[in-house]
């Protein structure tokens, strides 16, 4: 799941659109705010997004964050129509 921080003067929705493009090459056609949740670096905004047609690609490593090693589509779990939205746990792969 793409993610990152806000750049100066950027709204959360603008950041979502930028981060998705930077990390996958996909253009967000619709972004909907879902909730705020705790994250290791503080609170984070969660958005549901739709992307325009296209094939994802791994973003360019900027040397500041974790290196992207791969990209794949995963099936989404059945989401409830009311109440909370399940968010997968943070997954980190470290070299051995």
pLDDT above 70 (res 80): no
The verdict on residue 26 lying in a domain is yes
The verdict on residue 28 lying in a domain is yes
Per-residue model confidence (pLDDT) at position 66: 66
The verdict on residue 21 lying in a domain is yes
pTM here is 0.68
Per-residue model confidence (pLDDT) at position 55: 84
The number of helices, as runs of H, and strands, as runs of E, in the chain is 1, 2
96/60 Cα distance (integer angstroms)? 23
Q: How many domains does the chain have?
A: 1
pLDDT above 70 (res 49): yes
The verdict on residue 86 lying in a domain is no
Average pLDDT over residues 44-49: 85
pLDDT above 90 (res 9): yes
pLDDT band, residue 75 (cuts 50/70/90): low
The verdict on residue 71 lying in a domain is no
Residue-number span of the structural domain to which 19 is assigned: 12-51
């Amino acid at each position: 799941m793409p993610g990152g921080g806000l750049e100066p003067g950027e709204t959360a929705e603008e950041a979502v659109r930028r981060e998705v493009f930077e990390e996958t090459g996909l253009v967000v056609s619709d972004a909907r705010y879902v909730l705020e949740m705790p994250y290791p670096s503080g609170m984070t905004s969660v958005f549901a997004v739709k992307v325009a047609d296209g094939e994802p690609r791994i973003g360019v490593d900027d040397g500041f964050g974790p290196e992207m090693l791969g990209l794949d589509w995963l099936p989404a779990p059945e989401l409830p129509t009311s109440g909370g939205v399940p968010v997968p746990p943070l997954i980190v792969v470290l070299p051995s």
